[in-house]
Structure 1
Amino acid sequence: MVCKEIENMIPAFLADDLDTEDLRDFMEHVDNCEECMEELSIQFLVLEGLARLEAGNVFDLQNELKVRLEEAAHSLKRREGMQGLLYILEGLVVIAAIGLVALLLVL
């Protein structure tokens, strides 16, 4: 993906609203692109910083962004694991259906 696409995805990332494929692409790009990571940091600081200032809360936004990225990476692994499990289950259903058809043909 190109930087412009990633920059357009930042609000969806911050809202935790990216599907698995987009999240994977986003994470891979941000991990390898300083400019996009900087843009993510800026948007996160503005969005969260303003909300925290209005609420009067104390905060460490750099650390919170790091935590959010770690949580996103963990979520991505979990989503991909579930997707793999679904593929296995779909395969088993197909095998069972073939077996059932073969059994019916024998009878």
Structure 2
Amino acid sequence: MKMLATLVLAVSTFAFVGCEESAMDKRADEVRDTTQTQADQIRDASQNTAENVREGADNMSDSAENKADAIENVGEKKADRLEEVGENKADALEEIDN
């Protein structure tokens, strides 16, 4: 029984030590969080701008809707690119640590 308890304690200790994040892992998480926040801000801004265009004086025309859709698409693409760059940077930081 003592042997089993010792084994469980040893395995738990190794598992706990292995779960600690390194400085690079923490930095990678920070990069991911920052780029996700920035991407969300870009999406929100483009959606707000598009909504303002839709609600503007010329909202009865198809061109206003097309312009609003284009604004949203550009914002979405920009946010996606930012997320991709951030993810690549975070992955590179994690690779340095390994």
Considering the TM-score relative to the shorter chain, is it more than 0.5?
A: no
TM superposition score normalised by structure 2: 0.43
TM superposition score normalised by structure 1: 0.39
- Based on CA coordinates, which of the two structures has the bigger radius of gyration? 2
